[in-house]
Amino acid sequence: MEWRSNLGFTERLRAIQSLTAVYQQTSSSAAFAEAQAEARRYETEAYDQATSKEEYDRMCQQAIDAAETKSVVAPVINGSDDVHNVSQELEPEPASSGSSAGEIFGQYTSCFHHYGGLQSTIYKSTAKDGTVRAVKITIPHLMAAPHDAQREARLLREAVGPHVIPLVETFNLDGGRLALVFPFLQYDFARLLERDMVTATQTRSILRDMFQGLAHIHKLGIIHRDVKPSNILMSSPDGPAYLADFGISWKEGDPGSEPSDLKITDVGTTSYRAPEVLFGYKAYGTPLDLWAAGCVVAEAITVGHGELFDSGPVGSDLSLIHSIFSTLGTPDEQTWPEVHVLPDWGKVEFYAFPAQSWEDILPAVSSNGRDLTRRLLRYQSSERHSADEALRHPYFSTV
Protein backbone atom coordinates (compact mmCIF):
# COMPACT_ATOMS: atom_id res chain seq x y z
CA MET A 1 0.00 0.00 0.00
CA GLU A 2 1.06 3.59 -0.59
CA TRP A 3 1.27 4.44 3.11
CA ARG A 4 3.89 1.70 3.60
CA SER A 5 6.07 3.07 0.82
CA ASN A 6 5.88 6.50 2.45
CA LEU A 7 6.83 5.13 5.86
CA GLY A 8 10.58 5.50 5.99
CA PHE A 9 13.12 3.22 7.65
CA THR A 10 13.89 5.95 10.21
CA GLU A 11 10.24 6.12 11.34
CA ARG A 12 10.04 2.36 11.75
CA LEU A 13 13.33 2.30 13.65
CA ARG A 14 12.09 5.08 15.93
CA ALA A 15 8.95 3.07 16.70
CA ILE A 16 11.05 -0.01 17.52
CA GLN A 17 13.38 2.02 19.74
CA SER A 18 10.43 3.55 21.59
CA LEU A 19 8.79 0.17 22.14
CA THR A 20 12.09 -1.34 23.26
CA ALA A 21 12.55 1.37 25.89
CA VAL A 22 8.99 0.91 27.12
CA TYR A 23 9.37 -2.87 27.44
CA GLN A 24 12.60 -2.43 29.37
CA GLN A 25 10.94 0.06 31.70
CA THR A 26 8.05 -2.27 32.50
CA SER A 27 10.46 -4.84 33.92
CA SER A 28 13.80 -3.97 35.48
CA SER A 29 15.00 -7.51 34.74
CA ALA A 30 14.32 -7.38 31.01
CA ALA A 31 17.47 -7.70 28.92
CA PHE A 32 17.85 -5.25 26.04
CA ALA A 33 17.88 -8.05 23.43
CA GLU A 34 14.68 -9.54 24.86
CA ALA A 35 12.93 -6.15 24.93
CA GLN A 36 14.11 -5.32 21.41
CA ALA A 37 12.89 -8.66 20.08
CA GLU A 38 9.45 -8.06 21.55
CA ALA A 39 9.44 -4.53 20.15
CA ARG A 40 10.35 -5.76 16.66
CA ARG A 41 7.60 -8.38 16.82
CA TYR A 42 4.90 -5.82 17.69
CA GLU A 43 6.15 -3.25 15.18
CA THR A 44 6.24 -5.85 12.39
CA GLU A 45 2.75 -6.99 13.31
CA ALA A 46 1.50 -3.40 13.15
CA TYR A 47 3.28 -2.83 9.82
CA ASP A 48 1.84 -6.00 8.27
CA GLN A 49 -1.72 -5.68 9.54
CA ALA A 50 -2.38 -1.94 9.44
CA THR A 51 -4.25 -0.50 6.47
CA SER A 52 -3.07 3.10 7.04
CA LYS A 53 -0.40 5.13 8.81
CA GLU A 54 -3.00 6.16 11.38
CA GLU A 55 -3.81 2.52 12.14
CA TYR A 56 -0.09 1.69 12.33
CA ASP A 57 0.41 4.47 14.88
CA ARG A 58 -2.65 3.32 16.79
CA MET A 59 -1.42 -0.27 16.96
CA CYS A 60 1.99 0.84 18.22
CA GLN A 61 0.24 2.95 20.88
CA GLN A 62 -1.90 -0.04 21.86
CA ALA A 63 1.29 -2.08 22.31
CA ILE A 64 2.65 0.58 24.67
CA ASP A 65 -0.61 0.66 26.64
CA ALA A 66 -0.62 -3.15 26.82
CA ALA A 67 2.94 -3.10 28.17
CA GLU A 68 1.82 -0.74 30.94
CA THR A 69 -1.03 -3.07 31.88
CA LYS A 70 1.30 -6.06 31.82
CA SER A 71 3.66 -4.33 34.24
CA VAL A 72 0.76 -3.91 36.67
CA VAL A 73 -0.59 -7.46 36.43
CA ALA A 74 2.81 -9.08 36.82
CA PRO A 75 5.23 -6.55 38.27
CA VAL A 76 8.85 -7.60 38.47
CA ILE A 77 10.32 -6.71 41.85
CA ASN A 78 14.06 -6.72 42.23
CA GLY A 79 15.56 -9.22 44.59
CA SER A 80 17.45 -8.09 47.66
CA ASP A 81 20.80 -8.30 45.87
CA ASP A 82 19.61 -5.93 43.14
CA VAL A 83 18.29 -3.44 45.68
CA HIS A 84 21.59 -3.62 47.51
CA ASN A 85 23.47 -2.82 44.30
CA VAL A 86 21.23 0.18 43.63
CA SER A 87 21.85 1.34 47.17
CA GLN A 88 25.60 1.13 46.69
CA GLU A 89 25.43 3.20 43.52
CA LEU A 90 23.19 5.91 44.91
CA GLU A 91 24.54 6.17 48.44
CA PRO A 92 27.19 8.94 48.60
CA GLU A 93 30.37 8.38 50.53
CA PRO A 94 30.64 10.41 53.74
CA ALA A 95 32.72 13.50 53.19
CA SER A 96 35.89 13.68 55.21
CA SER A 97 35.50 16.03 58.14
CA GLY A 98 38.96 15.55 59.56
CA SER A 99 37.65 13.01 62.05
CA SER A 100 36.41 9.47 61.52
CA ALA A 101 33.82 10.11 64.26
CA GLY A 102 31.99 12.77 62.25
CA GLU A 103 30.37 15.88 63.71
CA ILE A 104 28.09 16.14 66.72
CA PHE A 105 24.77 18.04 66.80
CA GLY A 106 22.96 17.71 70.11
CA GLN A 107 22.37 14.04 70.80
CA TYR A 108 23.25 13.11 67.22
CA THR A 109 26.81 11.89 66.90
CA SER A 110 28.70 10.50 63.92
CA CYS A 111 27.07 13.03 61.60
CA PHE A 112 28.57 12.98 58.13
CA HIS A 113 27.91 15.48 55.37
CA HIS A 114 25.26 14.17 52.97
CA TYR A 115 24.07 17.19 50.98
CA GLY A 116 24.81 20.90 51.01
CA GLY A 117 22.45 23.56 49.67
CA LEU A 118 22.36 27.34 49.73
CA GLN A 119 20.00 27.46 52.71
CA SER A 120 20.93 24.36 54.70
CA THR A 121 23.25 21.40 55.10
CA ILE A 122 22.03 17.85 55.61
CA TYR A 123 24.01 15.28 57.60
CA LYS A 124 23.51 11.54 57.92
CA SER A 125 23.67 10.29 61.48
CA THR A 126 23.65 6.65 62.60
CA ALA A 127 22.82 5.99 66.25
CA LYS A 128 24.28 3.13 68.28
CA ASP A 129 21.01 1.21 67.91
CA GLY A 130 21.31 1.45 64.11
CA THR A 131 18.66 4.16 63.66
CA VAL A 132 19.60 6.45 60.78
CA ARG A 133 18.54 10.10 60.76
CA ALA A 134 18.87 13.06 58.42
CA VAL A 135 19.92 16.12 60.43
CA LYS A 136 19.18 19.35 58.57
CA ILE A 137 21.12 22.35 59.90
CA THR A 138 19.80 25.79 58.99
CA ILE A 139 20.65 29.34 60.01
CA PRO A 140 17.21 31.01 60.10
CA HIS A 141 18.40 34.63 60.35
CA LEU A 142 20.50 34.21 57.20
CA MET A 143 17.61 32.85 55.16
CA ALA A 144 16.06 35.06 52.51
CA ALA A 145 12.32 34.89 51.82
CA PRO A 146 10.56 32.69 50.89
CA HIS A 147 12.89 30.32 52.77
CA ASP A 148 11.87 30.00 56.43
CA ALA A 149 13.11 27.12 58.62
CA GLN A 150 10.80 27.95 61.54
CA ARG A 151 7.76 27.95 59.24
CA GLU A 152 8.95 24.68 57.69
CA ALA A 153 8.96 23.06 61.14
CA ARG A 154 5.52 24.48 62.02
CA LEU A 155 3.90 23.30 58.80
CA LEU A 156 5.50 19.87 58.99
CA ARG A 157 4.11 19.37 62.49
CA GLU A 158 0.68 20.29 61.16
CA ALA A 159 0.98 18.23 57.98
CA VAL A 160 1.70 14.84 59.56
CA GLY A 161 0.48 12.22 57.12
CA PRO A 162 1.35 8.94 55.39
CA HIS A 163 3.12 10.63 52.47
CA VAL A 164 4.67 13.70 54.11
CA ILE A 165 8.22 13.39 55.43
CA PRO A 166 7.96 12.96 59.23
CA LEU A 167 9.65 15.60 61.37
CA VAL A 168 11.24 13.71 64.29
CA GLU A 169 12.27 16.76 66.32
CA THR A 170 13.86 20.21 66.19
CA PHE A 171 16.40 21.82 68.48
CA ASN A 172 18.48 24.98 68.60
CA LEU A 173 22.25 25.14 68.24
CA ASP A 174 24.74 27.89 68.89
CA GLY A 175 25.08 30.65 66.33
CA GLY A 176 21.32 30.87 65.89
CA ARG A 177 21.21 27.57 64.02
CA LEU A 178 18.13 25.36 63.93
CA ALA A 179 18.31 21.58 63.49
CA LEU A 180 15.44 19.66 61.93
CA VAL A 181 15.65 15.89 62.23
CA PHE A 182 14.00 13.44 59.83
CA PRO A 183 14.19 9.73 59.06
CA PHE A 184 17.02 9.19 56.61
CA LEU A 185 15.56 8.16 53.23
CA GLN A 186 18.38 7.30 50.87
CA TYR A 187 16.53 7.51 47.57
CA ASP A 188 15.12 10.51 45.79
CA PHE A 189 12.98 10.21 42.68
CA ALA A 190 15.24 12.44 40.58
CA ARG A 191 18.28 10.22 40.95
CA LEU A 192 16.27 7.05 40.38
CA LEU A 193 14.94 8.52 37.14
CA GLU A 194 18.37 9.75 36.04
CA ARG A 195 19.71 6.20 36.39
CA ASP A 196 16.56 4.62 34.94
CA MET A 197 16.24 2.45 38.04
CA VAL A 198 12.46 2.34 38.46
CA THR A 199 9.99 0.21 36.55
CA ALA A 200 6.69 1.53 35.21
CA THR A 201 4.92 -0.06 38.18
CA GLN A 202 7.27 1.58 40.69
CA THR A 203 6.96 4.91 38.88
CA ARG A 204 3.19 4.80 39.02
CA SER A 205 3.26 3.93 42.73
CA ILE A 206 5.65 6.80 43.51
CA LEU A 207 3.52 9.27 41.55
CA ARG A 208 0.40 8.07 43.34
CA ASP A 209 2.11 8.67 46.69
CA MET A 210 3.11 12.16 45.52
CA PHE A 211 -0.51 13.03 44.70
CA GLN A 212 -1.72 11.54 47.99
CA GLY A 213 0.75 13.78 49.82
CA LEU A 214 -0.39 16.80 47.83
CA ALA A 215 -4.08 16.01 48.40
CA HIS A 216 -3.38 15.83 52.14
CA ILE A 217 -1.52 19.13 52.47
CA HIS A 218 -3.88 20.96 50.10
CA LYS A 219 -6.82 20.01 52.31
CA LEU A 220 -4.90 21.71 55.13
CA GLY A 221 -4.44 24.86 53.04
CA ILE A 222 -0.70 24.29 52.57
CA ILE A 223 0.97 25.02 49.24
CA HIS A 224 4.28 23.19 48.91
CA ARG A 225 5.70 25.59 46.28
CA ASP A 226 8.67 23.39 45.31
CA VAL A 227 7.33 20.11 43.91
CA LYS A 228 10.02 18.33 41.88
CA PRO A 229 11.47 14.81 41.66
CA SER A 230 14.34 15.50 44.06
CA ASN A 231 11.82 16.47 46.77
CA ILE A 232 10.14 13.04 46.61
CA LEU A 233 12.01 10.69 48.94
CA MET A 234 11.75 6.99 49.78
CA SER A 235 13.72 4.28 51.54
CA SER A 236 13.18 1.83 48.66
CA PRO A 237 12.32 2.15 44.96
CA ASP A 238 9.17 0.22 45.87
CA GLY A 239 8.09 3.07 48.16
CA PRO A 240 6.31 4.42 50.01
CA ALA A 241 7.27 7.88 48.79
CA TYR A 242 7.13 11.10 50.81
CA LEU A 243 6.91 14.79 49.97
CA ALA A 244 9.93 16.53 51.47
CA ASP A 245 11.56 19.96 51.79
CA PHE A 246 8.84 22.32 53.01
CA GLY A 247 11.35 25.17 53.30
CA ILE A 248 9.34 27.57 51.12
CA SER A 249 5.84 26.21 51.80
CA TRP A 250 2.94 28.55 52.54
CA LYS A 251 -0.25 28.57 54.56
CA GLU A 252 -2.63 31.43 55.15
CA GLY A 253 -2.50 32.66 58.73
CA ASP A 254 0.89 31.18 59.49
CA PRO A 255 3.02 33.92 61.11
CA GLY A 256 5.81 33.37 58.61
CA SER A 257 3.63 33.33 55.50
CA GLU A 258 2.87 36.27 53.23
CA PRO A 259 -0.69 37.62 52.77
CA SER A 260 -2.69 35.39 50.42
CA ASP A 261 -2.87 38.04 47.68
CA LEU A 262 0.77 39.12 48.04
CA LYS A 263 2.61 35.81 47.89
CA ILE A 264 6.19 35.75 46.70
CA THR A 265 6.41 34.73 43.04
CA ASP A 266 10.05 33.65 43.16
CA VAL A 267 9.07 30.12 44.15
CA GLY A 268 9.56 26.71 42.61
CA THR A 269 12.58 25.37 40.78
CA THR A 270 13.40 26.38 37.20
CA SER A 271 11.57 24.06 34.80
CA TYR A 272 8.77 23.19 37.26
CA ARG A 273 7.51 26.77 37.75
CA ALA A 274 3.91 27.47 36.81
CA PRO A 275 3.11 30.08 34.12
CA GLU A 276 1.03 32.29 36.44
CA VAL A 277 4.03 33.10 38.65
CA LEU A 278 6.18 33.71 35.58
CA PHE A 279 3.81 36.61 34.86
CA GLY A 280 3.79 37.98 38.39
CA TYR A 281 0.52 36.59 39.79
CA LYS A 282 0.70 36.79 43.60
CA ALA A 283 -2.70 35.35 44.52
CA TYR A 284 -1.91 31.86 43.25
CA GLY A 285 -3.17 28.77 45.05
CA THR A 286 -2.71 25.01 45.16
CA PRO A 287 -2.88 24.66 41.33
CA LEU A 288 0.70 25.98 41.43
CA ASP A 289 1.71 22.59 42.86
CA LEU A 290 -0.38 20.72 40.30
CA TRP A 291 1.45 22.32 37.37
CA ALA A 292 4.75 21.21 38.91
CA ALA A 293 3.27 17.76 39.54
CA GLY A 294 2.31 17.57 35.86
CA CYS A 295 5.92 18.31 34.94
CA VAL A 296 7.03 15.52 37.29
CA VAL A 297 4.57 13.07 35.69
CA ALA A 298 5.79 13.96 32.19
CA GLU A 299 9.42 13.51 33.21
CA ALA A 300 8.72 10.22 34.96
CA ILE A 301 6.83 8.53 32.12
CA THR A 302 8.96 9.80 29.22
CA VAL A 303 11.65 7.55 27.81
CA GLY A 304 14.96 9.08 28.93
CA HIS A 305 13.22 11.07 31.70
CA GLY A 306 14.20 14.51 30.44
CA GLU A 307 12.52 17.63 31.80
CA LEU A 308 9.52 18.62 29.71
CA PHE A 309 10.29 22.35 29.69
CA ASP A 310 13.67 24.03 29.38
CA SER A 311 14.59 27.12 31.37
CA GLY A 312 18.01 27.41 29.77
CA PRO A 313 21.48 27.11 31.30
CA VAL A 314 20.89 29.82 33.93
CA GLY A 315 17.22 29.21 34.72
CA SER A 316 15.82 32.18 32.82
CA ASP A 317 12.10 32.97 33.10
CA LEU A 318 12.03 34.09 29.47
CA SER A 319 13.65 30.85 28.34
CA LEU A 320 11.09 28.88 30.32
CA ILE A 321 8.17 30.89 28.92
CA HIS A 322 9.49 30.35 25.39
CA SER A 323 9.78 26.60 26.04
CA ILE A 324 6.23 26.36 27.46
CA PHE A 325 4.70 28.45 24.68
CA SER A 326 6.53 26.60 21.88
CA THR A 327 5.30 23.31 23.33
CA LEU A 328 1.73 24.03 24.45
CA GLY A 329 1.10 26.93 22.09
CA THR A 330 1.18 30.65 22.84
CA PRO A 331 -1.96 31.43 24.85
CA ASP A 332 -4.28 34.37 24.39
CA GLU A 333 -7.27 35.80 26.26
CA GLN A 334 -9.53 33.08 24.91
CA THR A 335 -7.33 30.11 25.79
CA TRP A 336 -6.09 31.63 29.06
CA PRO A 337 -8.75 33.97 30.54
CA GLU A 338 -6.59 34.34 33.63
CA VAL A 339 -4.27 36.69 31.73
CA HIS A 340 -6.52 39.58 32.81
CA VAL A 341 -5.20 39.28 36.38
CA LEU A 342 -1.55 38.67 35.50
CA PRO A 343 0.44 41.85 36.30
CA ASP A 344 3.18 41.17 33.75
CA TRP A 345 1.03 39.91 30.90
CA GLY A 346 1.41 42.04 27.78
CA LYS A 347 4.75 43.56 28.76
CA VAL A 348 6.53 41.37 26.21
CA GLU A 349 5.14 40.30 22.87
CA PHE A 350 5.71 36.61 22.14
CA TYR A 351 5.72 34.75 18.86
CA ALA A 352 2.39 32.98 18.29
CA PHE A 353 3.47 29.34 18.45
CA PRO A 354 0.88 26.72 17.51
CA ALA A 355 0.21 24.03 20.09
CA GLN A 356 1.95 20.73 19.48
CA SER A 357 -0.13 17.58 19.71
CA TRP A 358 0.28 15.65 22.96
CA GLU A 359 1.29 12.62 20.87
CA ASP A 360 4.27 14.67 19.65
CA ILE A 361 4.99 16.19 23.06
CA LEU A 362 4.98 12.80 24.80
CA PRO A 363 5.64 10.09 22.24
CA ALA A 364 6.03 6.44 23.25
CA VAL A 365 4.16 6.79 26.55
CA SER A 366 0.89 5.20 27.65
CA SER A 367 -2.36 6.89 26.66
CA ASN A 368 -3.37 7.20 30.31
CA GLY A 369 -0.05 8.75 31.33
CA ARG A 370 -0.25 11.25 28.48
CA ASP A 371 -3.84 12.18 29.35
CA LEU A 372 -3.02 12.71 33.03
CA THR A 373 -0.19 15.06 32.09
CA ARG A 374 -2.47 16.96 29.70
CA ARG A 375 -5.05 17.51 32.45
CA LEU A 376 -2.45 18.94 34.80
CA LEU A 377 -0.56 21.19 32.41
CA ARG A 378 -3.35 23.66 31.67
CA TYR A 379 -2.68 27.37 31.41
CA GLN A 380 -5.92 28.21 33.21
CA SER A 381 -5.10 27.20 36.78
CA SER A 382 -8.75 26.53 37.65
CA GLU A 383 -8.89 23.86 34.93
CA ARG A 384 -5.99 21.80 36.25
CA HIS A 385 -6.83 18.50 37.89
CA SER A 386 -6.69 18.69 41.66
CA ALA A 387 -4.61 16.10 43.49
CA ASP A 388 -7.80 14.17 44.35
CA GLU A 389 -8.90 14.23 40.70
CA ALA A 390 -5.46 13.03 39.62
CA LEU A 391 -5.73 10.08 42.00
CA ARG A 392 -9.04 9.11 40.38
CA HIS A 393 -7.52 9.20 36.89
CA PRO A 394 -7.39 5.88 34.97
CA TYR A 395 -3.57 6.03 35.07
CA PHE A 396 -3.80 4.98 38.72
CA SER A 397 -6.81 2.69 38.46
CA THR A 398 -4.69 -0.43 38.13
CA VAL A 399 -2.13 0.35 40.84
Residue 293 CB: number of other CB atoms within 10 A? 27
Give yes or no for a cis peptide into 140 (omega within 30° of 0): no
Beta-carbon contacts of residue 243 (< 8 Å; ≥ 6 apart): 163, 164, 165, 210, 213, 214, 217, 224, 227, 231, 232
Q: What are phi and psi of 344, to 5 degrees?
A: -100, 5
Question: CA-CA distance, 198 to 206, in Å (whole number)?
Answer: 10
Beta bridge partners of 113: 123
Strands 177-183 and 132-138: antiparallel
CB neighbours of 210 closer than 8 A, spacing ≥ 6?
Answer: 163, 227, 232, 241, 243, 293, 296
Mark whether 226 is an active-site residue.
Answer: yes
Q: Which residues of 184-206 are buried (b: 16+ CB within 10 A; e: fewer)?
A: bbbbbbbebbeeebbbbbbbbbb
Question: Which one of the listed residues 148, 188, 226, 245 is annotated catalytic?
Answer: 226
Residues marked as catalytic: 226
